[in-house]
Amino acid sequence: MDSTQLHLPEPALRRLPWYLSYAKLALERGETTVSSTQIAKDIGVEASMVAKDLSYINVTGKTRVGYSTFTLIEVIETFLGFTETHKAFLFGVGRLGGALLQDNGLRQFGLEIIAAFDVKFELAGTNINHIPIHYIDRMNELRQQTGVNIGILTVPINQAQEVADMMIQADFKAIWNFTPIRIRVPNNIVVQNTSIYAHLAVMFNRLRMNP
């Protein structure tokens, strides 16, 4: 892993996709250069923060000109791993899991779901968006065949830890957890928690605070 990435603060890492999206929109408008001031105004942060974040990944701009839009897109996409293909399994083909299987946009950001698993026998042998769905007991077999080491967790909360334990035993290296509970994993497992319910709670609370 590049030493720069090791020292990149997580808040800066979370902002990089915002800059990437801005640069892509700017390119669609025919803008071959963008400035930190333009980016900052569009996404609502300080221009000095934009410049500092980009300096972590060795993107430099020209005075009174800004950053090359092409270079900005290329460097951020490469740094974030969006130019590589990371294959994943999805666990739990409910409404949320099904929606993720339908989301072709994930491939644009380097994530390809190649199979899904569920405990419902009736789902085995079907597919969503050409992605095959298997009964859960085939996970180990297909994991060994494909070498997939990323799991996406969209199961009901009462099954989350059990399925996470199965992934750990099968030597998965990363879990993208969409359930509203914090799963317990060893320190060597990367977990990204993305609970839409937690974000709903924050939004509702802010609405109450700002009537």
Per-residue pLDDT reduced to its tens digit, 6-59? 478 888 998 999 999 999 999 999 999 999 999 999 999 999 999 999 989 988
Long-range contacts of 31-36 (CB under 8 A, 24+ apart): 31/69, 32/68, 32/69, 32/70, 33/65, 33/66, 33/67, 33/68, 33/69, 34/66, 34/67, 34/69, 34/72, 35/61, 35/65, 35/66, 35/67, 36/61, 36/66, 36/67
Q: Assign 92 to helix, strand or coil.
A: coil
Q: Are 19 and 54 in contact (CB under 8 A)?
A: yes
**Assigned token pair, 43:** 């996404």
The tally of CA atoms less than 13 A away on the side-chain side of residue 75 is: 20
Per-residue pLDDT reduced to its tens digit, 58-113? 888 787 788 999 999 999 999 998 888 999 999 999 999 999 999 998 988 899 99
Euclidean distance between the first and the last CA atom of the chain, given in angstroms as a whole number: 47
More confident residue, 73 or 201: 73
